[in-house]
Copies of this chain bind each other. A is one copy, B any other.
Amino acid sequence: MSERTRAITIADVAAKAGVSQASVSRVLNGKQSVDPGIVRSVQSAIAALGYSPSVAARSLVHGRNDTIAMVVPDLENPLFQGILKGLSRAAASDGYRVLVADTAERVDDEEATALEARQRCDALVLCAPRMPESQLRRLVGRVSPVVVVNRPLPDAAVPIVGVDYVRGIRDLVDHLRELGHRRIAYVSGPATSASNAERLRGVDEAIAAHPDVRIDVVPGGSRLDDGYAAAESVVAAHVGGATAVIAFNDLVALGLLQRLGELGIDVPGELSLAGFDDVPMASFATPPLTSMSVPRTEIGAQVWARLRTLIAGGPIEHSVLYRPRLEARGSTGPVR
């Protein structure tokens, strides 16, 4: 059929318009002032030829390509999806695009993936990195500009945007305590998750603050089926006296809720249940799930704000920690 035709270049436009490449470039970028006549002839030449500049050539000259990368352990996590959406839209408003790199929870691939992604982009977002702290500290130094999400890294020269899980758990425990609960079970998240470690700190602090409260930790995970599978341990804790359960996140809570229903355990009658993240589905569960709300897309926007500053050569802006907001719903009730 048709010949594989080479793309048209700025030289073609210049020739057709009868001017120099520099003039075409000026018209293209609106630099300096150009003779209105030239502008018109260049513009019509561009239109006639259907020319569009080579992004690659521009990148080579400028040393940047207006693209950032987000490295994430699992694209299926609603929290990360929300952050990606917020980041993508915020960056787009400044003419930047977002590359996604899903490490599929393979901790060993994280560093290589991050380095490779950074090669292609002007900056990086490391979302809930699972790698050891020492490795992460080394890495952030190599991939700057970079912003870290949901992973504490004290005194590191990196802006961090995250969620105050410690505070969130404490607030949640307070809520349950006010309802009369004194024995609580916490269904934990992935061992590699830093935010799970933070939640556990929240658990410890809550216990310290309220000597009358006891919290047992049972193994869980991060997905629906993890919650479903955790039901057995939760029931054991319930038999042992627990009257309320806090799940690592809403997915775990919803999976657990389902299984508890199958087992004939009334929520919140016999057992109160709360999740974390306040995913859209939370308020649509039966009963509606009490959760700690986290501003997912807002986090993405804040990440972009910090990254943009860094890209522009600005300072490392202050880290920010969002305080989760309690959304008390039907799944938690007074102890009886």
Q: Which A residues are within 8 Å of any B CB, using their own CB?
A: 7, 52, 54-57, 59-60, 63, 65, 67, 69, 75-76, 81-82, 84-85, 88-89, 92, 97-102, 104, 117, 119-120, 223-224, 228, 254-255, 257-258, 261, 280-281, 284-286, 288
Shortest Cβ distance from A261 into B: residue: B286
Shortest Cβ distance from A120 into B: residue: B55
**Measured between alpha carbons, how far is A281 from B289 in the docked complex, in Å?**
14
- The reply to whether A98 and B97 form a contact with Cβ atoms under 8 Å apart is no
**Cβ contact of A286, chosen from B52, B280, B286, cutoff 8 A:** B286
- The reply to whether A97 and B75 form a contact with Cβ atoms under 8 Å apart is no
**Measured between alpha carbons, how far is A92 from B103 in the docked complex, in Å?**
10
**Measured between alpha carbons, how far is A99 from B97 in the docked complex, in Å?**
7
- The reply to whether B100 and A100 form a contact with Cβ atoms under 8 Å apart is yes
- The reply to whether A284 and B254 form a contact with Cβ atoms under 8 Å apart is yes
- The reply to whether A57 and B60 form a contact with Cβ atoms under 8 Å apart is yes
Question: Told that A55-B120, A67-B99, A85-B102 touch, could you supply 14 new A-B pairs with CB distance under 8 A?
Answer: A56-B56, A69-B97, A75-B85, A84-B100, A88-B100, A88-B101, A92-B101, A97-B99, A98-B99, A228-B284, A254-B284, A258-B286, A258-B288, A285-B286
- The reply to whether B88 and A284 form a contact with Cβ atoms under 8 Å apart is no
Given contacts A254-B284, A281-B224, A284-B254, contact A119 B85 (CB under 8 A): no
- The reply to whether B65 and A280 form a contact with Cβ atoms under 8 Å apart is no
- Give chain A's interface secondary structure class: helix
* Copies of this chain, whole number: 2
**Measured between alpha carbons, how far is A171 from B7 in the docked complex, in Å?**
48
Chain B proximity of A119: nearest CB distance (Å)? 5
Chain B proximity of A175: nearest CB distance (Å)? 22
**Cβ contact of A102, chosen from B56, B89, B224, cutoff 8 A:** B89
**Cβ contact of A120, chosen from B57, B67, B104, B261, cutoff 8 A:** B67
- The reply to whether B120 and A97 form a contact with Cβ atoms under 8 Å apart is yes
Shortest Cβ distance from A98 into B: residue: B100
Chain B proximity of A264: nearest CB distance (Å)? 13
- The reply to whether A75 and B84 form a contact with Cβ atoms under 8 Å apart is yes
- The reply to whether A92 and B88 form a contact with Cβ atoms under 8 Å apart is no
Most chain B beta carbons < 10 A, residue from A92, A224, A284: A284
- The reply to whether A85 and B76 form a contact with Cβ atoms under 8 Å apart is yes
**Measured between alpha carbons, how far is A255 from B81 in the docked complex, in Å?**
20
Find chain B residues with CB under 8 A from A286 CB.
Answer: 257-258, 261, 285-286
Chain B proximity of A50: nearest CB distance (Å)? 9
Chain B proximity of A84: nearest CB distance (Å)? 6
**Measured between alpha carbons, how far is A59 from B65 in the docked complex, in Å?**
11
- The reply to whether A104 and B75 form a contact with Cβ atoms under 8 Å apart is no
- The reply to whether B67 and A60 form a contact with Cβ atoms under 8 Å apart is no
**Measured between alpha carbons, how far is A257 from B59 in the docked complex, in Å?**
51
